[in-house]
């Protein structure tokens, strides 16, 4: 009984997500579902991407949080193409929440849509939103044991970013262990260790992203 209800909710979500996906495909918008723990650096990464690609690509942002417009307020300084979703306590975004925001964007003109999900390594991984790729952040202070403890989100990732590498020496995070565990779960996934605030290691991520933006446009 409970399982059926859960399955129905997931099936209904999948249906709406595929509708979102079709729309993104038709409008040639490349869509990232950005995932990670609270404080892993998602919003700061979005700010950097907006700054780096400014003038070359038009980027829309959907900010997901339980409450507050803190993240959208930050992003609004860099683009007007931003919408805050408040889940009112919900632990993840779903396809319907995303669908309802899409009328706020001129999708014909948007090249990249970044959906910053609720800070949570568990539930957001279970709900497809219609995105092209999931990008997962793991910050060094969280510890290198997290990939095997939260495997689904790392299995689903098209890219894993190991953020806050400036704190490597201040923590007991082993980059080698983390990379090995992520590769065990997801052998082909590109992994980018970087420090967003200090612009360290960002080039490879930008190149990875630009290749996908170019492909989508064709």
**Residue ranges that bind its own copies, judged by CB under 8 A:** 2, 5, 9, 37-39, 65-68, 70, 89-91, 118-123, 139, 141-143, 145-146, 148-152, 164, 166-167, 170
Which residue's CB is nearer to its own copies, number 58 or number 164?
164
* DSSP run (H or E) holding 82: strand 82-86
**Please, what is the minimum distance in Å from the beta carbon of residue 24 to its own copies?**
27
Q: Where are the alpha helices (DSSP H) in 28-85?
A: 42-52, 70-75
DSSP code, position 92 = S
**Please, what is the minimum distance in Å from the beta carbon of residue 40 to its own copies?**
8
**Please, what is the minimum distance in Å from the beta carbon of residue 211 to its own copies?**
30
Which residue's CB is nearer to its own copies, number 111 or number 181?
181
Write phi, then psi, for 121 (nearest 5 degrees): -90, 0
Which residue's CB is nearer to its own copies, number 42 or number 58?
42
**Please, what is the minimum distance in Å from the beta carbon of residue 192 to its own copies?**
19
Which residue's CB is nearer to its own copies, number 91 or number 213?
91
**Please, what is the minimum distance in Å from the beta carbon of residue 80 to its own copies?**
22
Rg, Å, the chain Cα set = 17
CA distance 128 to 11: 10
Which residue's CB is nearer to its own copies, number 76 or number 210?
76
Which residue's CB is nearer to its own copies, number 172 or number 207?
172
CA distance 189 to 159: 6
CA dihedral 106→108→112→115, nearest 10 degrees, is 40
**Please, what is the minimum distance in Å from the beta carbon of residue 135 to its own copies?**
17
**Helix, strand, coil percent content, the chain, rounded in steps of 5:** 45, 20, 35
Residue 162: Cβ within 10 Å count: 25
Can you spell out the DSSP letters for 177-203? HHHHHHHHH-TT--EEE-BTTTTBSHH
């Amino acid at each position: 009984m409970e399982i059926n209800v859960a399955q129905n909710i997931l099936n209904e979500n999948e249906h709406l997500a595929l509708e979102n996906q079709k729309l993104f495909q038709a409008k040639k918008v490349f869509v990232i579902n950005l995932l990670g723990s609270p404080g892993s650096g998602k919003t700061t990464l979005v700010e950097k991407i907006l700054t780096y690609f400014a003038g070359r690509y038009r980027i829309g942002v959907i900010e997901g949080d339980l409450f507050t417009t803190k993240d959208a307020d930050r992003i609004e300084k860099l683009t007007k193409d931003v919408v805050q979703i408040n889940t009112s306590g919900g632990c993840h975004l779903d396809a319907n929440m995303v669908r309802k925001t899409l009328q706020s964007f001129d999708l014909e003109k948007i090249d990249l849509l970044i959906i910053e999900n609720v800070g949570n390594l568990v539930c957001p991984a279970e709900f497809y939103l219609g995105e092209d790729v999931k990008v997962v952040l793991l910050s060094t202070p969280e510890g290198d044991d997290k990939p095997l403890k939260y495997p689904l989100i790392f299995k689903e990732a098209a890219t894993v970013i190991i953020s806050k590498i400036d704190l490597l020496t201040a923590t007991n995070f082993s980059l080698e262990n983390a990379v090995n565990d992520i590769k065990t779960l997801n052998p082909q996934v590109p992994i980018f260790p970087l420090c967003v605030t200090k612009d360290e290691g960002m080039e490879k991520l930008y190149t990875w992203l630009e290749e996908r933006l170019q492909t989508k446009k064709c």
